[in-house]
Amino acid sequence: MKVFTVAMLASLGAVAPSSVCQAMYLPAVITTVPVERLVKNMQAKVEKQPKNPHLLFGLARIHSMAYAVKSNEIKVAQGEDGPWIGKHPLGIPYEVSQAEDEEALAAAKAHLQKALDLHKSVVELKPDHYLARLGLAWCTEQAGNKEEAIRLYRALIQDAVPIDRKIRDRYDGVPTISTEASTYLIQLLDPTTDAGEIATLKKQSEAIEQGIARWITPVAVALDRDLQPDDFVDHAAAVRFDLDGSGIRRRWQWINRDTAWLVYDHQGTGQITSALQMFGSVTFWLFWSNGYDAMSSLDDNSDGKLNGSELRDLALWHDRNQNGISEPGEVRSLADHGIVELDCTFTASKSGLYHNPHGVTFSDGHTRPSCDVILQQKR
């Protein structure tokens, strides 16, 4: 059963506060995030629910990312320095991009200030929203207030460690809050004066991260009318693919041959190389409770459905031979499949899977299910 999805259920009040977090803006493949579109749609939702910490946090993350890359288009690149704030979970360092000119710098500073204000609002509404506290500390650091950032990181780590020690499973590639905050804090500490604290932080993080089971959840679509959500996954499969957006191809369970991945093929290349191009918790490297929430970020009119121009750049990847490689003919647009609408709403099956039995509507009016499948990493 799905216990949590990247800790965002905690911010919705669905479960007890969790302190799982995702590395901030990690580059793994070349893709473009529609920043202006995301800001517009999320801002519209915030205006309707100005006290909703989940929505405020989502908007804060978007502004933080826009600040980090200092561009109207967000691109993430595999294996190269790029728009990620902090450290890769595997220890590969990345830096915030430099502004190309004064105009870009001014825009970036405006995004940072908005991110700061929004993170503060979330923390005021929900003090135990550890992801927002992490974002607030990081934005404070970026704003040049080093001492306050150190104070915020230390306080967050102290509160998060007891919770992190209880975690037994998590989304793959996602460090705990205390581990992530420790990474950022160590970068601010003096290696000589603070050597003792640094050693303690590293030892503590290593102990917490060991032995946690890993899983991942992208949205898939049934190609067979009779296929049920619990039958989407081939549990015996061990397919190599970058399913956590880390840039590393690991072995995972995979969907069966009667199922296809919903993907974001912005350039129309048909090349799907990472979960960043799927619809799940790492779509665009923003935080989503599940793949349906990621889909709803493209819902321009907030009607809970994607249709018409909202379906642009969306496609299905039918990995017929289950080799984890998007080969010619496997990635086709939704129009090619006769799909005219996707439903962004979902319910939970008896086994805990988020799904929609009528999530996909075809031009002849018939529907098929979609599902936010749970895949486990194979050792």
Enumerate residue ranges in the chain where pLDDT < 70.
Answer: 1-34, 71-95, 168-174, 211-215, 246, 281-289
CA distance 153 to 82: 24
CA distance 151 to 173: 27
pLDDT of residue 352: 77
Phi-psi region of 321 (alpha: psi -120 to 50; beta: other; left: phi over 0): alpha
CA distance 41 to 301: 8
pLDDT of residue 95: 56
DSSP state for residue 358 in the 8-state scheme: E
pLDDT of residue 235: 92
pLDDT of residue 85: 33
* Chain centre distance of CA 339: 25
Residue 265's contacts (CB-CB under 8 Å, 6 or more residues apart) are 271, 272, 277, 313, 314, 315, 331, 333
Over the stretch 308-330, which tens digit does the pLDDT of each residue have? Answer: 999 999 999 999 999 999 999 99
pLDDT of residue 103: 87
Round to the nearest angstrom and report the end-to-end CA distance of the chain. Answer: 21
Task: Report the predicted TM-score, pTM, of the whole model to 2 decimal places.
Answer: 0.55
CA distance 198 to 154: 12
CA distance 298 to 310: 6
Joined tokens for residue 165 = 């020690």
Joined tokens for residue 70 = 């200092």
pLDDT of residue 10: 28
pLDDT of residue 247: 76
Domains belonging to the chain, first-starting first, are 8-214 (1.25.40.10), 217-376 (no CATH)
pLDDT of residue 3: 27
- The dihedral of CA 60, 64, 65, 66: what is its sign? positive
**Where do we find the tokens 């970068």?**
187
Over the stretch 122-154, which tens digit does the pLDDT of each residue have? Answer: 999 999 999 999 999 999 999 999 999 999 999
